[in-house]
Amino acid sequence: MKRLSNITSFVFLFLFLLGLGGKTHAQDLKNVDPNDITWHIFEAPPLMITKGAKRGSGIVDGVRQLLQESITGRVHHEVELPYKRFLLYAKEGLNICTGYLFKNQKREAFLNFSNPAVVFPGLEVIIHKDKLEKIGYPAELSVKELFEVHD
């Protein structure tokens, strides 16, 4: 029984590693038409969501989708890679873009950065239920009013 368990573990590990193999992604990137745009995506909610029912609904996902819609005449691809592998491939000179990366001197040595832009989700105020009942469930309420009038 123990031997079967070891074999099963090995098979699952092999299949897992096979699915994560970088060569497939690297080969795909090397074969992409240089006029195409390949976008790096990775699971990092709420910025990028690559799995489940909310796939593509992250903040950076939205920016990437706007860019894809506005950059016409090009074929857009998406490739899901771990962040470190993206940096490795970019250092190797593969043509790959990302919508989320902080600029620093090290990265400037091998990457071209666009003009900086920062996108933040709308801020929300969370109010305790008792306080909300006290102020009467308004449809809208400014933060200023919340702190000045409703203490």
Query: Which DSSP string corresponds to 61-111?
Result: HHHHHHHHHHS-SS-EEEEE--HHHHHHHHHTT---B-S-----HHHHTT-
Contact 42, 82 (CB under 8 A): yes
Q: What is the pTM of this model?
A: 0.60
Q: What is the rounded CA–CA span in Å between residue 115 and residue 29?
A: 25
pLDDT of 20 > 70? The answer is no
Which pLDDT score, from 0 to 100, does residue 126 have?
77
User: What confidence tier does 130 reach under pLDDT thresholds 50, 70, 90?
Assistant: confident
Contact 40, 94 (CB under 8 A): no
Across the chain, mean pLDDT equals: 77
Which pLDDT score, from 0 to 100, does residue 151 have?
62
Which pLDDT score, from 0 to 100, does residue 35 have?
87
Q: What is the rounded CA–CA span in Å between residue 60 and residue 41?
A: 9
Mean pLDDT of the 64-69 span = 92
Q: What is the rounded CA–CA span in Å between residue 23 and residue 29?
A: 10
The pLDDT tens digits of the residues spanning 31-63 come to 888 888 899 999 988 889 999 999 999 989 998
Query: What proportion of the chain, given as a percentage, has pLDDT over 90?
Result: 26
Backbone phi and psi for residue 7, each to the nearest 5 degrees, phi listed first? -65, -45
Contact 49, 58 (CB under 8 A): yes
pLDDT of 30 > 90? The answer is no
Mean pLDDT of the 113-124 span = 71
